[in-house]
Amino acid sequence: MIQRNVSRWSQLSAAAVHLYTASGAVLAFLMVLAAIQGNAVQALWISFLTLVVDGTDGMLARRFRVSETLPWFDGRKLDDIVDYLTYVFAPILLIWQLGLLPAGVGGVVMAALPLLASSYQFCRVDAKTDDHFFLGFPSYWNVIAFYAIVLNLSPATVGAVLIFWSIMVFVPIRYLYPTRTVAFRSTTLTLSALWLLSFVIILAQMPTPNMLLVNFSLLYMVYYVILSLYMTFRTMRGQKI
């Protein structure tokens, strides 16, 4: 398709945004290397960078209108590929490599469940609703890996968590899309920023993080789940969000 009235600068800017998104795949590779080397803190620092990239690339894509400038390039497909690597594959490998799952076949099955469940979710056309919610648990395995490491959870506990949230991928709860869900957006963005800040401070304190700060960061998870359930309940009752 020949594009008219699209400047070279606009095309280069759009391509740069796609390259920025694609950098997440490189970060996923570096995270896997850190996991193989048993460097949990380094892997989590890289995971933090992937959160920053994922939290900002959509805004940049809309700012530079990349879908209109480069219509032949599927940025959403690229984003899904990168998200699967950074939110699913690399974190699960990290959990496995650090011995945070039971040994033997049982541990392999527990690791396989989120990989399979998220494969299904990433291929659903309605995984992201038109009003900007995630349908089903949005594969935040990187967050689960973070708390599994920081809290030094037992393999049995981590396995149970993976099983539970793998099932929740298929339960049609409408989870907040922090950067796009309109309802309570200001509050959600503020709390998300505070959570990211706590993420950085906790990593800087490793291997002995302040547990008060860790518990404070967990309050954001409680907020996220409760508000998602509330939004789902309102939708089921036909109320406006």
Helix (H, G, I), strand (E, B), or coil: what is residue 222? Answer: helix
Q: What are the C-alpha distances in Å from 236 to residues 175, 176, 231?
A: 14, 16, 9
Distance CA 7, CA 16 (A): 14
pLDDT in tens, the chain (241 residues): 444 577 889 999 999 999 999 999 999 999 999 999 999 999 999 999 999 999 999 899 999 999 989 999 999 999 999 999 999 999 999 999 999 999 999 999 999 999 999 999 999 999 999 999 999 999 999 999 999 999 999 999 999 999 999 999 999 999 999 989 999 999 999 999 999 999 999 999 999 999 999 999 999 999 999 999 999 999 888 776 6
Structure tokens at 7: 């400047």
Candidates 14, 144, 21, 22; CA nearest to 91 is 144
Distance CA 126, CA 146 (A): 28
The radius of gyration of the chain from alpha carbons, rounded to an integer in Å, stands at 19
Distance CA 239, CA 241 (A): 6
- Whether the Cβ atoms of residue 121 and residue 144 lie closer than 8 Å to each other: no
Candidates 28, 27, 9; CA nearest to 17 is 9
CATH of 8-236, one of 1.20.120, 3.10.620, 1.10.3470, 1.10.10: 1.20.120
Phi, psi (degrees; rounded to nearest 5) at 174: -95, 105
Distance CA 192, CA 220 (A): 7
Tell me: cis bond preceding 207? Omega within 30 of 0 counts.
yes
Prediction pTM value:
0.93
